[in-house]
């Protein structure tokens, strides 16, 4: 039996139409969207299926939308006999990973995610801020660039050895972008995000979310968990809690996560949720790592036809 891992996407994986085929096909999808809509206070399925895109891109909508879609797919895979030995999620995706691993249930997860999205959006609106991807600079040089830029700008997502995302005040990020280009970066691109995630500008959101995280019960997960904050394996509920509280302002150590999973014997990865952003990142870390996207009815059905290859 192959050692499988589920990987869950974060923001930027949303798209208008996401989840509609699941909703039309599976009762569990309808139930999850209904519960999520009640918690968020909007008709989440309508926004996911019909847009408009500008509404779906708002952080307080995006996060519950991606979380709900991802958990639905994970539940459907479990119902069809797919068993995994490890899981991780990129930023927001960590909450989907924890539900899949039974650390807490969907109801707890959607309440935390809805609060997280609302708090992070509020922090985004306080200060003009942004993020930018930098390709081809060593981390030591990028750290120097951020310091030279002045203001608040920090490395936020260590996506792969060659790609790091910086985050902070808009002017500081743009100064850092110019400096990165002058220091030899191959690609420097500002991202279409609503604010500076995983930076000190999220401190208010982190503080307010912390009390909500403290209020929930976190069970020992049924599989290995790799939190963003450490990139290291754990099954300890209090370590998971601590990492969740630190995650909003701490960098996402994604390449460390994938390297650790590979070292610990994971043989097959599945990106569980909308689109295929994580698959692209994993391939940029190690093009030989097998990863398959599963986020639509057609992809679920295709996987079921080849399930014997993974058992």
Q: Above 80 in pLDDT, residue 126?
A: yes
HEC string of 264-301? CCCCEEEEECCCCHHHHHHHHHCCCCCEEEECCHHHHH
Active site residues: 91, 198
Q: Above 70 in pLDDT, residue 252?
A: yes
Q: Please tell me the distance from the alpha carbon of residue 33 to that of residue 24, in angstroms, as a whole number.
A: 11
Our CA dihedral for 72, 27, 37, 13, rounded to 10 degrees, sits at 30
Token digits for 131? 């993020």
Tell me the per-residue pLDDT of 165-205, one tens digit each, with 9 for 90 and over: 999 999 999 999 999 999 999 999 999 888 999 999 999 99
Band of pLDDT at residue 311, cut at 50, 70 and 90: low
Distance, CA of 253 to chain centre: 12
Our CA dihedral for 241, 218, 300, 15, rounded to 10 degrees, sits at -50
Token digits for 91? 């930023």
Domains annotated on the chain, with CATH: 4-125+200-310 (3.40.366.10), 128-190 (3.30.70.250)
Tell me the per-residue pLDDT of 29-65, one tens digit each, with 9 for 90 and over: 999 999 999 999 999 999 999 999 999 999 999 999 9
Q: Please tell me the distance from the alpha carbon of residue 299 to that of residue 305, in angstroms, as a whole number.
A: 10
pLDDT at 306: 87
Q: Please tell me the distance from the alpha carbon of residue 252 to that of residue 12, in angstroms, as a whole number.
A: 15
Pairing of strands 129-135, 187-190: antiparallel
Q: Please tell me the distance from the alpha carbon of residue 31 to that of residue 304, in angstroms, as a whole number.
A: 23
HEC string of 77-145? HHHCCCCCCEEEECCCHHHHHHHHCCCCCHHHHHHHHHHHHHHHHHHHHHCCEEEEEEECCCHHHHHHH
């Amino acid at each position: 039996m192959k050692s499988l891992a589920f990987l869950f996407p974060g923001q930027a994986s949303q798209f208008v139409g996401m989840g509609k085929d699941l909703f039309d096909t599976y009762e569990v999808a309808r139930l999850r969207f209904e519960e999520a809509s009640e918690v968020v206070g909007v008709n989440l399925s309508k926004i996911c299926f019909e847009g408009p895109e500008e509404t779906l891109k708002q952080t307080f909508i995006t996060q519950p939308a991606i979380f709900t879609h991802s958990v639905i797919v994970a539940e459907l895979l479990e119902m069809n006999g797919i068993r995994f030995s490890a899981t991780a999620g990129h930023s927001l995706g960590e909450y989907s990973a924890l539900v899949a691993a039974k650390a807490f249930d969907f109801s707890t997860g959607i309440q935390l995610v809805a609060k997280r999205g609302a708090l992070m959006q509020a922090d985004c609106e306080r200060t003009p801020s942004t993020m930018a991807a930098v390709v081809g600079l060593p981390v030591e040089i990028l750290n120097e660039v951020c310091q030279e830029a002045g203001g608040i700008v920090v490395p936020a997502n260590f996506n792969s050895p060659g790609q790091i995302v910086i985050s902070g005040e808009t002017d500081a990020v743009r100064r850092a972008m110019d400096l990165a280009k002058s220091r030899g970066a191959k690609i420097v691109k500002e991202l279409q995000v609503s604010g500076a995630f995983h930076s000190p500008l999220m401190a208010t959101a982190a503080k307010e979310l912390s009390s909500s995280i403290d209020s929930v019960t976190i069970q020992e997960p049924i599989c290995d968990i790799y939190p963003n904050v450490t990139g290291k394996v754990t099954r300890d509920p209090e370590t998971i809690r601590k990492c969740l509280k630190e995650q909003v302002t701490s960098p996402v150590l994604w390449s460390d996560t994938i390297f650790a999973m590979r070292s610990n014997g994971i043989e097959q990865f599945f990106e569980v949720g909308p689109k295929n952003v994580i698959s692209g990142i994993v391939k940029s870390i190690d093009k030989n790592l097998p990863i398959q996207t599963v986020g639509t009815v057609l992809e679920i059905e295709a996987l079921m036809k080849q399930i014997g290859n993974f058992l």
